[in-house]
Amino acid sequence: MTTEEAIDRINELLDSTDLETVNTSMRIPKALRDAAALAVSELGVAPSATVVTANALRTFLEGTVVLAALDLHFEKYPEARPSLADLAIAAAEIEGSPLAQRPELLRRSAAEIQRRHPQAEPEDVLLWAEAREYGAEEQKGAA
C-alpha cells in the first residue's frame, strides 16, 4: 500500500457512516483508563470512557492524516512549504490575535526566534512577538 493509498483509505474510514462497533484488545495504561472513568462519572465530560477514547482518537487521526498528506505535498513541491512566518501569521488569524494585523512584526519575530530555536512552532512566534511588544511598551513607559 502506498502512502497515498493509506491516506485515502484512512479518510474513507473516517468519513464512514457505519455505526457498527467492535470490541478491541487495545492495551492502555490502567491509570489513564481510571482517569477517563473518573472524568466521565465525576466531571460529566462525556457519556462514557469509550466516547472519550473514540473522540480523542478521531480528532488525532483527522489532524494527522492531513499532516501526512501535507508531507507528501511538500515532498513533491518543496517550494510550497510555508515559512515559519507564514504559519505564524495564519495562526494569529486563526486565534483572532491582534498580532494578525502586524505581519511585519511576526516576520521579524519568526526570523529572531528561528535563529535561537530552529524547531520553533507558530505559537512560539506569537508569544515571542507579544513579549517583544510588552518589553518595548515597558521601556517606553519607563523613559
Residues that bind another protein (CB under 8 A): 4, 7-8, 11, 14, 56, 59-60, 62-67, 69-70, 72-73, 76-77, 79-83, 86-87, 89-91, 93-96, 100, 121-122
Give whole-number Cα distances, 132 to 13, 84, 115, 125, in Å: 45, 17, 16, 10
Closer of 56 and 131 to another protein (Cβ): 56
Q: How far is the CB of 88 from another protein (least distance, A)?
A: 9
CB of 123 to another protein, least distance (A): 9
Least distance in angstroms from the C-beta of 114 to another protein: 15
Q: In this structure, what C-alpha cell is assigned to residue 67?
A: 499532516
The nearest distance, CB 95 to another protein, in angstroms, is 8
Burial of 118 (0-12, 13-18, 19+ CB in 10 A): exposed
Closest CA to 124 of 137, 111, 138: 111
Which is nearer to another protein, 62 or 137 (by Cβ)?
Answer: 62
3-state secondary structure of 123: helix
d(CA 129, CA 106): 6
Helix (H) or strand (E) holding 17: none
Looking at the Cβ atoms of 58 and 134, the one nearer to another protein is: 58
Residue 109 vs 134, nearer CB to another protein: 109
